[in-house]
Amino acid sequence: MTQSFGLTTTARLALLQRLAKRRAHQDEARAGQGHNGGGHAEGHGAGREGRGHGTRSRFADLPGMRDFALMQTAVEALSLESPFFRPHAGVAGARTTIGNSRYLNFSSYNYLGLNGDPRVTGAAKAAIDRYGVSPSASRLVSGERPVHAELESLLAENYGAEAALCMVSGHATNVTVIGHLMGARDVIVHDAAIHNSCTEGARLSGARRIPFAHNDWRAAERALEGARRAAGRALLVIEGHYSMDGDVPDLARFVEIARRHDAWLMVDEAHSLGVLGPTGRGIFEAQGVDPAGVDIWMGTLSKTLSGCGGFIAAQRDLIEWLRHTAPGFVYSVGLPPNLAAAASESLRIMRAEPWRVEKLQHNARHFRDRARAMGFDTGSSEGHAIVPVITGSSVKAARLSVAMFERGVNVQPIVFPAVPEQAARLRFFLCAEHETADLDRALEALADAMASLSPLEVPG
């Protein structure tokens, strides 16, 4: 019998019928509660939308909550084990401890193996001894520490920029900078696969938002050309290394497009720093492009740099304006000093030990090439640090993740709606600490896990 999304056709139809029936019962129950609750509220003459003081609003009515409940029902119906939120008992590098067992690990961003390096932890401990764990205030008020300026100087130097600014969250960095920089009369043109933080920032700004086909610079130019004349300002946003697919853009093309259409170019380097280029400086180093062609460099401290937070590197006037006016910086506590110190030390080690970058890149190419030779679909991965294995089914991806875990390999599934259903995948993050034998063992485990999957049947 044919399979669809990891299920037999019969099983898939049975699951849909079961979920629809359960949803109908939930809707009936909710409608009945709403009727009784509404009458109670009217009887007491209270409340917005007929809610009385004694009636609590139901979170189940939130947009998306119903779909989430259906997803949970599907997981329960299929007896799927969740691969998420497993607690790691130590540093997660090439290997990790979960529960009482050791696993090969392909689910962490510790690209150069610097998280846990004694030099990095030593710098963090020294900062704690000197400054404590928290700056206890926004940097604008009294949270500024010398380690902040030191880190920002190193980041600006890496990108050949005049200045840099660090914030406490990578996600919040994109949200607050894009949301603050652009306005309702402006246009933001971005890759369709851009990170959620960028689209949330665009939504906050109120600007017109136009996605273009992933990694298609011609589509980007058409979109920008068509929208530019009617817009006040324009922002073109891409990533240096796409976290879902492991591919990279043609940076020089995007620089040309931005200049030709009087737009700012912003490059999210979250997964590029420490990964691309002979010494890990990023996509501009890998492709031999002058970094001055990019108006805004964005990145995170949580991958190669062993910390947490985000940064912007750009012209000094923009950085100073953000430093004094960006809500996510002005109204937020400053970056913890120990994280700033850890990130600075990680950046120094990255520059001093390029063998780490070379080892990472060798590992990723080996893994991608062998996976393809074994018949796995690795999509458009260029073999830098991220290699997806596309399963074409969210259910199949989840089942494979569990099967891999049972075989001593920790790798997470990426499922709908994070990616289209037909593009569901296992996503392998490679690091410099992996050995060739680790990579081969993981792929052999994947082949065995794939062969072991049998069609799911839904109980009646």
Q: Which residues are catalytic, by number?
A: 243, 271, 303
Please say whether the beta carbons of 380 and 215 come within 8 A: yes
Please say whether the beta carbons of 262 and 295 come within 8 A: no
**Number of separate helices (H) and strands (E) present in the chain:** 15, 15
Q: What contacts 143, CB < 8 A, 6 or more positions away?
A: 135, 136, 137, 333, 334
Q: Structure tokens of 160?
A: 């050949």
Q: Structure tokens of 63?
A: 């947009």
Q: Structure tokens of 352?
A: 């001093």
Strand partners, 268: 239, 298
Q: How far is CA 210 from CA 87, 186, 189, 289, in A?
A: 39, 11, 5, 26
**Secondary structure (3-state) at 70:** helix
- List the one residue out of 314, 321, 327, 331 whose CA is nearest residue 235: 314
Please say whether the beta carbons of 358 and 276 come within 8 A: no
Asked whether the CA dihedral 142, 334, 88, 70 is positive or negative, the reply is: positive
Please say whether the beta carbons of 215 and 249 come within 8 A: yes
Please say whether the beta carbons of 396 and 377 come within 8 A: no
Q: Which residues of 243-261 are buried (b: 16+ CB within 10 A; e: fewer)?
A: bbbbbbbebeebbebbeeb
Residue with tokens 């009887």: 43
Please say whether the beta carbons of 350 and 357 come within 8 A: yes
Please say whether the beta carbons of 144 and 330 come within 8 A: no
Q: How far is CA 297 from CA 37, 87, 131, in A?
A: 52, 33, 29
Q: Structure tokens of 322?
A: 């953000």
Please say whether the beta carbons of 274 and 305 come within 8 A: yes
Residue with tokens 């003459």: 45
Please say whether the beta carbons of 129 and 338 come within 8 A: no
Q: Structure tokens of 435?
A: 């050995």
